[in-house]
A = this chain, B = another copy of it.
Amino acid sequence: RNRLDNIQALNYSYYYKTYNINRHYMRLSKRGEYGLRAMIMLASPGSDGHPPVLQIREISERERIPAKFLEQILLTLKNAGLLHSKMGVGGGYHLARLASEISLGHIVRILDGPLAPVKCVSQMAYEPCGCPDEETCGLRLAMGDVRNSIAEILDGTSLEDVTRRVSEVRQSIQAR
């Protein structure tokens, strides 16, 4: 209530015109962001060249993610079949598939829902958007392009692609 009070103090409700309050709509949620970070970490090969087994605490500390929140996220990803886990001493999470077989798009869809900017162009969660004629709706045509391009990138990028790219960047930095 802090922030809202502040704004109200200096004339809150006229914010539509005057203030651009923290507006950031077409973005990942924290859940999505944290989930992707965790998955990338779980896909990064360790010293043995294989993806590691990691505990919630470890991921949460290294990526600065609230542990209890991360717990829920990993559980969701586990129930979706992307992670396996082991309880008890020496347990933890690890990828349920090859890193090359898990796309960023899959992860985002599980955690944040459809990739489409409007439902009427969503492949996985289509809903009519209420325009008089969908076929000739300009918004729909434009947003369809956006959806396709987002999906192309996210579905076309696997966790392995990401970790490979990271290590390439690391090497090119060292070479400087």
A contact set with B: CB distance below 8 Å: 16-17, 20, 22-29, 32-33, 36-37, 40, 44, 62-64, 72-73, 75-76, 79, 104, 108, 111-119, 125, 129-132, 135-139, 141-143, 145-146, 149-150, 153-154, 157, 162-163, 165-166, 169-170, 173
Given contacts A24-B125, A28-B143, A64-B130, 6 further A-B contacts (CB under 8 A): A16-B75, A27-B118, A104-B142, A141-B169, A146-B150, A146-B154
Residues of B contacting A27 in the complex (Cβ-Cβ under 8 angstroms): 25-26, 114, 116-119
| A25 with B24: CB separation less than 8 A | no
Residue of A62, A142, A153 with most partner-chain B CB within 10 A: A142
Interface of A (DSSP majority class): helix
